[in-house]
Amino acid sequence: MKIILFGAAGLLGSAISRAASGDHEIIAFTHADLDICDSAAIDDAIRSNAPHAVINCAAYTAVDAAETDLEMAHSTNAEAPGKISEICAQSGCTFVHISTDYVFGGTAERPYPANASADPINAYGRTKRDGEVAALAHGNPLIVRSSWLYGAEHGNFLTRMLELMREQDELKVVDDQFGVPTHANSLANAILILIGETAQGIHHFTDSGKTSWFGFASAIETKARKMGLIGGCKITPIATRDYPTAAARPLYSVLDCSPTWAITGTPKAWETELDSALKIWETKQ
C-alpha cells in the first residue's frame, strides 16, 4: 500500500514510518519538506504520487500558545485538513486525520463515545474540532482521536518528566485531570490496521486503562528508578487550580474506544506500554 505521510518528523509520524516499514510504501513529508497550509503543494504531492491513503499527522499542538496564536492554529488544524480531505476525495484516496480528546470539555463521568457532542474549552480543541468538521465535509475520511500521546522520542510528557526527574528532587503534578496515556507506537499500529480495514468516520483509540497526570508521572518515576535511569524524585499531587495555564484543560477526557478495539484488538494497558517506551528511551541514552 502506498501511503503519503504529512508531519513525518513528529512523534506519531515517526512511529507510523517505523510501523509501516517493509509492509507499505511510505512517502514521507516533514514540515521542512511541505507546509500543509500550502494547498498547491498538497495538491501536487497527492496527484503526482497517487497514494492509496494520506495520513495527516501535522498539527499545531502548542495548547497554551494557541490561545493567542489563533490564526496559525486555525490555518494548520482547521483549514488545512479540510483542503487535504477535498483533494483526497477528488483523487479517490483515503484521508486519515489525527485528532484529540481535547475536542471534549471534560465534564463527562464516563468515557466519551465517538458520537458524543464536542464541546472544547480551549482554542487548540476548537481548531481541532473545526478540522474534523472540515475533513468530514469531503468524501469518507477516517478521523482517529487519541489522548495523552507520548513516546521515547521528541518532546512529550514522558521525555520532559525524565529530564526533570534527573534535575530535580521533587515535582508537583496535577492529580485531578484524568485521561489515558497512549504510546505513539500503539496508535501507529492501530492506524495502519484501520486503513487496512477501510474504516471510515470518527474512531477513538488509546491504550487501555486510565489515570491522572500525577498517576502517569508517578509510574514514570517508579519504573525509571527501578531501571536505574534516574536517582529518584518525589512526585507531589496538586490541583489544577494550583497550576494555572493559559489554556483550560478538560478534567476528564477518557475516550470510549470499544468499537475501534473490535477492529484493532484491545491494546495493552498503558502501564505495560510505558515499560516498552522506557526501554526504548534507555537505548537512546
Q: What's the CA angle centered on 245, arms 242 and 250, to 5 degrees?
A: 85
b/e per residue, 210-220, with b = 16+ CB within 10 A? Answer: bbbbbbbbbbb
Beta-bridge partners for 144: 98, 203
For 194-248, give the DSSP string. Answer: HHHTT--EEEE---BS-EEHHHHHHHHHHHHHHTTSSS--EEEEE-GGGS--SS-
Q: Which of 60, 102, 124, 150 is catalytic?
A: 124
**Closest of 154, 131, 155, 156 to residue 144, by C-alpha:** 131
Give me the phi and psi of 92, to 5 degrees please: 80, 25
Does the annotation count 60 as an active-site position?
no
Query: Quick count: other Cβ atoms within 10 Å of Cβ 245?
Result: 12
Distance separating alpha carbons of residues 210 and 255, to the nearest angstrom: 10
Give catalytic residues, as residue numbers.
Answer: 124
